[in-house]
Amino acid sequence: MTSFKNGWHWFNSNVWWWLKEDGKYRRMGYVVAWFLLSGGLLIGALTAPHVSNVDDTPLNQYLDFSGDSPASMRLTYKAYSPQKQRLVLRLNVKSSTADPTQQVIDNDLKFKVATANPTQAIVKVIPTTLNHFVVLIDHLAPKFSAIQVKVKTETPQTTTGGTIQKGGSLAFIINEKSSLIDSHLPQLTRRQYAQQAVEADLKLEQKRQVSQNQIIKKARAAIAADDEKITALNKDVKYQTTSQKSQTKEAVASLKQDQSGNQQTIKAAERAIINSQGRVSLLQEKQQAIANGTYQLPAPTKTIRIK
């Protein structure tokens, strides 16, 4: 009996105590794990992108304006930095008609930006170069869910009855999701974006001029080669039979026709270079105006709530 009591005392003081203490620690571990898991889920829910139930507008897909506007527009770039609280969009507009009286110009376009969740972000629309825009949305905190950029056009049209307004509207949807995030988004000013676009256009014009000069060089080389062929054909024509002379005459006529085509190519390339030089001159004027602050950019606006 004494040995049983001693055994029970040993079990109670060692094994049972360990089981109770171990259970207590396990329960504490469960509680700590629950708090950590809940906290992680809460943080994830707060920081994760909040996507709306409306699909994104695809990049580089032209959307037509509603109504009778002869224009369409596309979204070419989008990026968001949660750290800088900035969303950057690039847009491009084109007209479906070559009639200059119906062309859509920068001043014809009105932008209105709305968010799915309440926010007081600042919207800055920058007409960078012809038919191209950068839209900066600053102070845009995470959890905005989605952005709607509505663009309205009102183009004055002169008719026999007077001047009327032709126009329409379209909307781009940008959802807040991980593919939108760019942590290295540069913090450029409006003027820096405008300067950047002008510099890109100047480089493009330089490439166009180089390309046209190459076309001129090749066309002139072809004309010179045809001259040599014509000289060679005419050299022995007095020793040819009537049939051979007829063939030579046809060959020379074909070569001269080829030369005429190359002369037209040269003239077209020279006109293209002159036009490009004119655009370069205007771009340089714009570049100077941006640098000295005389180039007027549209006033910033505020976002509204999507209705």
Residue 53's pLDDT band, with cuts at 50, 70 and 90, is: confident
pLDDT over threshold 80, residue 192: yes
Eight-state DSSP code of residue 178: G
For β-strands 109-115 and 304-305, DSSP reports them as parallel
| Percentage of the chain modeled with pLDDT above 70 | 76
Q: What is the CA radius of gyration of the chain?
A: 36
pLDDT of residue 34: 46
User: SS3 for 296?
Assistant: coil
Q: For residue range 95-118, what is the model confidence (pLDDT) as tens digits?
A: 876 666 566 777 788 999 999 988
Task: Give the mean pLDDT of 63-74.
Answer: 85
Query: In which element (H, E) is residue 244 found?
Result: helix 242-292
Q: For residue range 71-81, what is the model confidence (pLDDT) as tens digits?
A: 899 999 999 99
- Give the C-alpha separation, 104 to 101, whole Å: 9
Q: Top-level CATH class of 63-187?
A: mainly beta
User: SS3 for 172?
Assistant: strand
| Percentage of the chain modeled with pLDDT above 90 | 52
Q: What are phi and psi of 40, to 5 degrees?
A: -65, -40
Q: Structure tokens of 224?
A: 């010179």
Residue 32's pLDDT band, with cuts at 50, 70 and 90, is: very low
What's the number of CA atoms in the CB half-sphere (13 Å) around residue 75?
19
pLDDT of residue 237: 82
- Beta strand spans in the chain (E): 63-64, 71-81, 86-95, 109-115, 122-127, 132-138, 146-159, 162-175, 301-302, 304-305
pLDDT over threshold 80, residue 9: no
Strand order in the sheet with 301-302: 63-64, 71-81, 86-95, 132-138, 122-127, 301-302
Residue 12's pLDDT band, with cuts at 50, 70 and 90, is: low
- Using the structure block, give the residue that is written with the tokens 């040993």: 10
Q: For residue range 227-277, what is the model confidence (pLDDT) as tens digits?
A: 999 999 898 888 888 888 889 899 999 999 999 999 999 999 999 999 999
Task: Give the mean pLDDT of 74-97.
Answer: 92
pLDDT over threshold 50, residue 41: no
User: SS3 for 54?
Assistant: coil
- Give the C-alpha separation, 188 to 201, whole Å: 18
CB atoms within 10 A of CB 106: 15
pLDDT of residue 238: 83
pLDDT of residue 45: 44
pLDDT of residue 267: 97
Query: In which element (H, E) is residue 241 found?
Result: none
Give the lowest-confidence range in 47-51, 156-160, 199-203, 236-240: 47-51
Residue 44's pLDDT band, with cuts at 50, 70 and 90, is: very low
3-class SS shares of the chain: helix, strand, coil, % to 5: 50, 25, 25
Residue 296's pLDDT band, with cuts at 50, 70 and 90, is: confident
pLDDT of residue 129: 80
Question: Which one-letter amino acid corresponds to residue 108?
Answer: D
CA distances from 126 to 171, 191, 247 (A): 18, 8, 64
pLDDT over threshold 90, residue 88: yes
Strand order in the sheet with 162-175: 162-175, 146-159, 109-115, 304-305
pLDDT over threshold 60, residue 26: no
- Mean pLDDT value across the chain: 82
Hey, what long-range contacts does 160-167 have (CB within 8 A, 24 or more apart)?
A: 166/67, 166/68, 166/69, 166/70, 166/102, 167/65, 167/67, 167/68, 167/69, 167/108
Highest mean pLDDT among 102-106, 161-165, 282-286: 282-286
Largest Cα separation within the chain, whole Å, is: 146
pLDDT of residue 271: 97
Residue 6's pLDDT band, with cuts at 50, 70 and 90, is: low
Question: Which one-letter amino acid corresponds to residue 166?
Answer: K
